[in-house]
Amino acid sequence: MTDNPVVQLTSTSTNAESLFWTIESEGDILGYDSSWVFTLPELPGEYPIMLTVLDSNGCRDDYVMSVYVQDYLYWYMPSSFTPDGDGINDVFIPVFSIDPKNYSLQIFNRDGDIVFTASDPSDVWLGGRLDGEYYCPNGIYSWKMILSDPFKGEPSEHSGHIVLIR
């Protein structure tokens, strides 16, 4: 579900004589080094990771942090962009918490003509047109997006507007 299902945790404890990592709910010791690589489980949920540190005086300290594997897709669609080449807000692209499945995006001008299409969530609209003409004029454009949540699988359709300002 994720591109990089590995988390590396590193202890910054000083004067530690020994330490070990566990998933708190399971109790099995998973590593004895100051750095530990944790492969995320495929099942969504909260995974409390505990680091236990012992010093030479027998003092013990436990630190618990949670790693979350989410089971749903969050997304955000910008409401405007300025493809003027200044390096700020120059492209239109939806933002996703995880990559959706079965993704498609269409952008329409005020006449209902498609000016941009994408089937990859990393494709950006630079304000050009499908017919090869680079510039679309300033204005309000409509978008329609269809996607499937990778966990739930049901396709959903969303629509809205984007303001192009040069």
Question: The domain spanning residue 102 has which CATH number?
Answer: 2.60.40.1220
User: What pLDDT shows up at residue 68?
Assistant: 79
> C-alpha angle with apex 143: 142 to 149, nearest 5 degrees?
155
How many distinct structural domains can be found in the chain? Answer: 2
**Which of 20, 42, 69 is the endpoint of a domain?**
69
Does residue 30 sit in the same domain as residue 56? yes
In a domain, 1, yes or no: no
pTM for the whole thing?
0.61
Does residue 41 sit in the same domain as residue 103? no
pLDDT above 90: residue 4:
no
Least confident of 2-6, 67-71, 101-105, 116-120: 2-6
Does residue 52 sit in the same domain as residue 100? no
**Which of 41, 69, 97 is the endpoint of a domain?**
69
Does residue 62 sit in the same domain as residue 86? no
Does residue 36 sit in the same domain as residue 114? no
pLDDT higher at 50 or 157: 157
**Which of 27, 50, 69 is the endpoint of a domain?**
69
Does residue 53 sit in the same domain as residue 110? no
Does residue 111 sit in the same domain as residue 151? yes
For the domain that residue 24 is a member of, what is the CATH number? 2.60.40.10
pLDDT higher at 10 or 140: 140
pLDDT above 80: residue 5:
no
Residues of the chain above pLDDT 90, percent: 40
Average pLDDT of the chain? Answer: 86
70 pLDDT tier (thresholds 50, 70, 90)? confident
Q: Is-contact 32 18, C-beta < 8 A? A: yes
Does residue 60 sit in the same domain as residue 85? no
- Of the candidates 159, 143, 157, 147, which has an alpha carbon nearest to the alpha carbon of residue 107? 143
Does residue 130 sit in the same domain as residue 61? no
pLDDT higher at 66 or 151: 66
| Residue span of the structural domain in which 87 resides | 75-164
1 pLDDT tier (thresholds 50, 70, 90)? very low
User: What pLDDT shows up at residue 40?
Assistant: 72
Q: Is-contact 37 6, C-beta < 8 A? A: yes
